[in-house]
Amino acid sequence: MQRTAEETGRLLGVAYYRRMYPKVNRARELMEAGVIGRPVLAEATNHYWFNLGHGRDWLADPALAGGGPLYDIASHRIDLMNYLFGKPVRASGHVSTLVQPIAVEDNATVIVEHASGVRGVVDVRWHSRVARDEFRIRGTDGEMDLTPLNGPRVSYPGGEEQIPAHANLHYPCIADFVSAALDGTPLRSSGASALETEWVIGQVVGPSHRPAGH
């Protein structure tokens, strides 16, 4: 898709909409200001119980979804780490199906090394009755906590802020695409940036799933 977009001069955007969260961009500003020193480790977890028969069964069909929580949940957090910490240069992970009676994995753990030196750890699970939506960034001089990721809170050494997302979580992503199409502003979540997230996933699931060119 990205190659076709380049060949035809078309715009390709991908809905990794958390790049547009105001608190995520505030976290970027705070890191650049040095509030936690040099960032060295980021950790993200998202756990919940996947219920079959509630209109989302296609997510458990490998022919339709390609995989389970690695694709559904981890991809967004991997992309967010790429957005915050730069190009991924090495990645590995483990997937398995432990609890759910489904044909895709019900859990995945991914480790990513970024060119900046930050190491990211993403753990996602469809078999937890305890819901978690954690995102923490640890630096040489302190820690920043965005837990819950989908909530408004961001805390850091010496401060805490409440910065809510748009009432429609997807609206800023759509507005960003429209602005790119009409005004030529750079896309914050493009096909090119999404390929880096896909590359990480490919390192976990194997060569047959990796996009061409990686």
Give the pLDDT mean for 20-38. 97
Q: Sort 101 into a burial class: Cβ within 10 Å, 0-12 / 13-18 / 19+.
A: exposed
Of 151, 118, 146, residue with least CA distance to 134: 146
Q: Is the pLDDT of residue 192 over 90?
A: yes
Mean pLDDT of the chain: 94
Q: Distance (Å, rounded) from C-alpha 38 to C-alpha 36?
A: 6
Q: Is the pLDDT of residue 209 over 60?
A: no
Confidence of residue 207 (pLDDT cuts 50, 70, 90): low
Do residues 157 and 35 make contact, with C-beta atoms less than 8 angstroms apart?
Answer: yes
Q: What percent of the chain has pLDDT over 90?
A: 93
For residue 212, what pLDDT is reported? 40
Confidence of residue 210 (pLDDT cuts 50, 70, 90): very low
Give the pLDDT mean for 168-195. 96
Q: Distance (Å, rounded) from C-alpha 159 to C-alpha 147?
A: 15
Q: Is the pLDDT of residue 214 over 80?
A: no
> What are phi and psi for residue 12, nearest 5 degrees?
-120, 120
Residue ranges and CATH numbers for the domains of the chain are 14-209 (3.30.360.10)
Confidence of residue 55 (pLDDT cuts 50, 70, 90): confident
Q: What percent of the chain has pLDDT over 70?
A: 96
- Say which residues have a Cβ less than 8 Å from residue 175's Cβ, sequence separation at least 6: none
Measure Cα distances from 156 to 19, 21, 87, 119, 186 in Å: 19, 17, 24, 19, 29
For the entire predicted model, the pTM comes to 0.93
